[in-house]
Structure 1
Amino acid sequence: MSIRAGRLLAENMTRWGAANTLITSAEPTHLAAQFGSIFDRVLVDAPCSGEGMFRKQGAFEWSMGMVQACARRQTGVLNTAANLVKSGGRLVYATCTFSPEDNEAVVAQFLCDFPQFELIDPPRFAGFAQGRPSWVDESLADESLQKCVRLWPHQFLGEGHFVAVMQLVANEKPQRFWKPLRFTPLGKKGLAVWRAFAEAHLRFEVAEERLLLVNGRFYLLPEIALETGNLHLIRYGLLLGEIRKGHFRPNHALALALTPEKATESVNFAANSDEIAAYWQGLDLPSAEPNGWLLVAVDDFGLGWGKRVNGRIKNHYPRGLRRKRDWRREIGD
């Protein structure tokens, strides 16, 4: 995964409120060398010829040479990913193309080279079509390829996609056990800053043994924190906030991971309310409650932070995410 793609993924995981994540920018071979066969689920979102995106993106450069190059690259990635799956685990291969060279042919060759894996039939939903064994070279064709899923834009609300779910039923290699991340827990000063905020503003317990302080920023590590060695990290766990002038300032990522019942103080608005429209634009909101940090929620989901000061909620929604103002009047003025 490229650094840019990793950052986009990190942004999406933040929007979803995901806290138990590790995102790296590394070659599959480096991931396999660092972690080994420890994962219950591995998803290969393979680089492909992109034929499924023709309708959405319009014309772009395409050739059979590109399709064949993609197939070679996909085979290499998939073969490496196999080394990350634990016994009984599942390996999912997905593309956004129609080409059988990118799809059934890659899966068929993989199953030939890795007989310890077998295709399983995933749950079928409306619009899920079977794989096409007849589109594969006779030497590799197998009726089990029908267990693959093809999504056609004329049968499914979306673009063109392909999915194959494979399970490791027998692992000849000894299973490798994960190494815990080595890190220094918070010191007394860091704990004091965090506890002052958590006790005043949160209604749930945070495992303090998983708290990490780096360059003044507080992180909550995943429940299982893996040693990452020299891998390039983009995100590890949840960014809680940072120290500003000796006090804790919560991060936007923490707000998105919360719901109103997990915050001591919160305001909860409907998605179509004037208050949410104003908040998205970066405007302050009226509020006569006591001063302090509070969670701004939309339909029971955390949206961002506000800080109540003298009868108004000061807006702390990130500037880069704010919507362009179409009016300047603040709510309550």
Structure 2
Amino acid sequence: MELPLAFKEKYQTLLDDAEALFEAIEEGTPQKGFRLNPLKPAAAEMLSVYGPERSPAPYAQNGYLGEVSGRSLLHQAGYVYSQEPSAMIVASVADARPGEKVLDLCAAPGGKTTQLAGQMQNEGLLVANEIFPKRAKILAENVERWGAANAIVTNHAPHELVKHFSGFFDRIVVDAPCSGEGMFRKDEQAIAEWTEQTPLQCAVRQKEILDSALQMLKTEGTLIYSTCTFAPEENEQIISWLVENYPITIEPIEIENVSHGRPEWGSVAGLEHTVRLWPHKNQGEGHFVAKLRFHGEDSEKKSKKTKNSIDRETQRLWQALSQMIPAPAEGTLVQFGDQLWLVPESAPSLKGIKFLRAGLHLGTVKKNRIEPSYALAMAVNKTADYPCVHLSIDEWKKYVAGETITKAGNAGWVLLCVEQIPVGFGKQVQGTIKNFFPKGLRFQAV
């Protein structure tokens, strides 16, 4: 690949080792990576049995260097998420805690969201937002497969969320849309779209997003700002703008083997506490991340809580089903049309919010029954609590292809598992397991 001349001239001026950066981009090979899902049953053990060759990744507790197939057992069951290694640093810096209220404001396709969900252990509330509908759909699918029971996926412009979540969140992650210079090595389209003006144009949008984010942050809340670009205009200069215009302080980031922000590229003290990853110095692509503390007064409003809103018949049907297939988390039962959801207890009213996931999707209400959802199967964390039918790898391949499976028994709804790995629900009737793997997700496994 050939880098734009204006890009080279810019960084030859800014960097003493610019030629090493250019060589890494033009001749280097992108590093594949993935993360293991700590929410899943026997995750480490199942990785050792069914996982690919791997070595530890540098910036995430459950991160690995290696490549997983999207048609593999572990990927289908949500045990792994493919992610570029340097991108794992963002949620690691965020360090979300169980019980908190956390917003991933620019969340698609879901790498940061799923990592945050693992940190939160399904306790508290995680809101994952994406402005573009198609990308929001991909985000929702990844959150579902990950088994995050405490996550709501929304589809809004950042400023539209403010009225619903004013002064609400303990932590907000803004992995901002950027010029993508850090991804040049793996994305030639980013090179083709880059101009000298791209960083400045992106900076305007980044400021708008951050202004909305701060309105949704509690006093003493944490803001994580990150980009996948090298551009000072989108990194040190954005942090300088924040500190100069809002009651914000820059917090140190304690991670080894990283580079740091350049104070000479901004205008405030403390920029050395931010972190940079360079493809010629670190494993992975280019990234920038800053951890900030908000000291202003929040404008939290008393928001209405979501209340149970299901009729008696649905309540009766759910009570009957949950005797065999219980919900794996606490929450509020809410019915939207014929869909039954378990909304996280700390969620505000969802009235007026465009969402793709309202928490954990439990199932579809039909005449005289509720069909349990694929999302419910993915959220199972203790297989011993469910009626399980164990599949061989060959039977699993038939299942994800949409075929029926022959197994002696007449147990009704059953959780299908490969060893300790839940892969979905089936209905066992007189020795035949009817296939309820979602039609839109079916594939030929490897």
TM range (shorter): 0.7 to 0.9
Alignment of 1:101 with 2:233, yes or no, is yes
Displacement after TM superposition at 1:250 (Å): 0.8
Displacement after TM superposition at 1:233 (Å): 2.2
If the length of structure 1 is used for normalisation, what is the TM-score? 0.86
Q: Which sits farther off after the overlay, 92-101 or 194-203?
A: 194-203
Partner Cα distance (1:98, 1:60) in 2: 16
Structure 1 partner of 2:249: 118
Query: After superposition, where does 1:220-299 map in structure 2 within 5 Å?
Result: 220-261=342-383, 263-268=385-390, 273-298=393-418
If the length of structure 2 is used for normalisation, what is the TM-score? 0.66
Indicate if the aligned counterparts of 2:416 and 2:423 stay in contact, CA closer than 8 A: yes
| Counterparts in 2 of 1:165 and 1:255: CA distance versus 1, 3 Å | same
Indicate if the aligned counterparts of 1:263 and 1:295 stay in contact, CA closer than 8 A: no
Alignment of 1:162 with 2:284, yes or no, is no
Structure 2 partner of 1:86: 218
Partner Cα distance (1:155, 1:287) in 2: 54
| Counterparts in 2 of 1:64 and 1:228: CA distance versus 1, 3 Å | farther
Q: Which amino acid aligns with 2:186?
A: K
* Residue number among 301, 304, 316 corresponding to 1:192 in the alignment: 316
Structure 2 partner of 1:20: 150
| Counterparts in 2 of 1:112 and 1:298: CA distance versus 1, 3 Å | farther
Structure 2 partner of 1:216: 338
Partner Cα distance (1:198, 1:284) in 2: 24
Displacement after TM superposition at 1:267 (Å): 3.2
Displacement after TM superposition at 1:99 (Å): 1.0
Structure 1 partner of 2:425: 305
Indicate if the aligned counterparts of 1:260 and 1:295 stay in contact, CA closer than 8 A: no
Deviations 1:263-321 (A, max 9, x none): 42113557xx3232332222333322333111123453432111112223222211222
Structure 2 partner of 1:149: 275
Indicate if the aligned counterparts of 2:215 and 2:299 stay in contact, CA closer than 8 A: no
Partner Cα distance (2:346, 2:421) in 1: 26
| Counterparts in 2 of 1:37 and 1:4: CA distance versus 1, 3 Å | same
Displacement after TM superposition at 1:80 (Å): 2.1
Q: Which amino acid aligns with 1:224?
A: S
Partner Cα distance (1:72, 1:130) in 2: 24
| Counterparts in 2 of 1:67 and 1:320: CA distance versus 1, 3 Å | same
Aligned length: 314
Partner Cα distance (2:292, 2:442) in 1: 42
In structure 2, stretches of 5+ residues that fail to align are: 1-130
Structure 1 partner of 2:136: 6
Higher RCO, 1 vs 2 (CA within 8 Å, ≥6 residues apart): 1
Partner Cα distance (1:70, 1:293) in 2: 51
Structure 1 partner of 2:55: none
| Counterparts in 2 of 1:260 and 1:296: CA distance versus 1, 3 Å | farther
Partner Cα distance (1:13, 1:174) in 2: 29
Indicate if the aligned counterparts of 1:202 and 1:262 stay in contact, CA closer than 8 A: no
**Which stretches of structure 1, 4 residues or more, deviate above 6 A after TM superposition?**
none
Root-mean-square deviation (CA), in Å? 2.3
Partner Cα distance (2:408, 2:279) in 1: 52
Larger radius of gyration: 1
Indicate if the aligned counterparts of 1:30 and 1:231 stay in contact, CA closer than 8 A: no
Alignment of 1:180 with 2:180, yes or no, is no
Displacement after TM superposition at 1:251 (Å): 0.9
| Counterparts in 2 of 1:205 and 1:318: CA distance versus 1, 3 Å | closer
Q: Which amino acid aligns with 1:26?
A: H
Q: Which amino acid aligns with 1:149?
A: V
What fraction of aligned residue pairs are identical, expressed as a percent? 34
Structure 2 partner of 1:71: 203
SS class of match (1:200): coil
Deviations 1:231-269 (A, max 9, x none): 322221111101223211011111111135364211355
Indicate if the aligned counterparts of 2:324 and 2:387 stay in contact, CA closer than 8 A: no
Deviations 1:51-83 (A, max 9, x none): 111111114211121211101111121122111
Indicate if the aligned counterparts of 2:215 and 2:298 stay in contact, CA closer than 8 A: no
